[in-house]
């Protein structure tokens, strides 16, 4: 019976910083990034105070796998927003809807104006057509020469 004893892996200071940042983001209590920041590999690096390119799968394969697994398992969870954040988001949405509504009203008014202009022009041309038709001689056939001569 051979038992294989595995030595605990030595964790570098950089990996320790990344893991601490990962935990803070999971708990929703970041030190550097704003609260409510979504958890991502780049945000873990930013929260650790380093450039996002420093946290690579080549250097920290286990940690990156853990981050990706956590993101995958928690992707359906809604981020918890404070009542103030929800209110501000609703205000922004309302503002956008009002602007869209005003824009649509302006488009409608412009289209209606163009329609009225077109109808007036059609009426004008119809009247002109009738006037010109009334001026036409009733006999539309003209003889160019007299057959008796």
Q: 24 and 48 in contact (C-beta within 8 Å)?
A: no
Q: 44 lies in a domain?
A: yes
Helix axis angle for 61-73 and 13-27, nearest 10°, is 10
DSSP string over 38-64: PP-HHHHHHHTTS-GGGS-TTT-HHHH
For residue 79, pLDDT over 60 is answered with no
Residue 77 has pLDDT above 70, yes or no: no
Average pLDDT over residues 124-148: 82
The last residue of a domain, from among 73, 104, 122: 73
pLDDT tier at 39, thresholds 50, 70, 90: confident
Residue 140 has pLDDT above 90, yes or no: no
- Full domain range(s) for residue 51: 13-73
Tell me: pLDDT of 78 over 70.
Answer: no
Looking at the domain assignment, is residue 148 inside a domain?
no
Answer yes or no: do 90 and 129 share one domain: yes
pLDDT at residue 81, rounded to an integer: 67
Q: Is 43 inside any structural domain?
A: yes
Q: What does pLDDT average to over the chain?
A: 86
Q: Do 32 and 65 fall within a single domain?
A: yes
- Within this chain, do residues 94 and 63 fall inside the same structural domain, yes or no? no
What pTM, to 2 d.p., does this model score?
0.48
Q: What is the pLDDT of residue 16?
A: 92
Q: What tens digit of pLDDT does each residue of 82-101 get?
A: 788 888 889 999 999 999 99
Whether residues 29 and 66 fall in one domain: yes
Does the pLDDT of residue 15 top 70, yes or no?
yes
Look at the chain and report how many structural domains it folds into: 2
CA 68 – CA 55 distance, rounded (Å): 12
Distances, alpha carbon 54 to alpha carbons 46, 109, 120, in Å = 10, 56, 70
Of the three residues 73, 96, 122, the one that is the final residue of a domain is 73
- Are 34 and 68 members of one domain? yes
Among candidate residues 21, 55, 73, the one where a domain is terminated: 73
Greater confidence (39 vs 101) lies with 101
Q: Are residues 55 and 90 in the same domain?
A: no
One domain, residues 63 and 96: no
Q: How many CB atoms lie within 10 A of CB 81?
A: 13
Let me know whether 55 and 96 are in one domain.
Answer: no
Q: What confidence score (pLDDT) does residue 136 get?
A: 83
Is position 61 within any domain?
Answer: yes
């Amino acid at each position: 019976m051979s038992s294989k004893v595995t030595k605990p892996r030595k964790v570098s200071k950089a990996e320790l910083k990344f893991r601490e940042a990962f935990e803070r983001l999971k708990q929703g209590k970041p030190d550097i990034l704003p609260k409510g920041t979504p958890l991502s590999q780049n945000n873990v690096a930013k929260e650790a105070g380093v450039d996002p390119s420093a946290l690579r799968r080549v250097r920290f394969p286990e940690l990156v796998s853990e981050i990706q697994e956590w993101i995958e398992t928690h992707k359906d969870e809604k981020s918890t927003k404070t009542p103030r954040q929800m209110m501000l988001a609703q205000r922004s949405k309302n503002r956008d809807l009002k602007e869209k509504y005003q824009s649509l009203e302006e488009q409608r008014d412009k289209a209606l104006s163009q329609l009225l202009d077109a109808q007036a022009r059609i009426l004008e041309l119809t009247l002109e057509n009738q006037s010109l038709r009334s001026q036409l001689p009733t006999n539309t056939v003209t003889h160019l020469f007299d057959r008796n001569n």
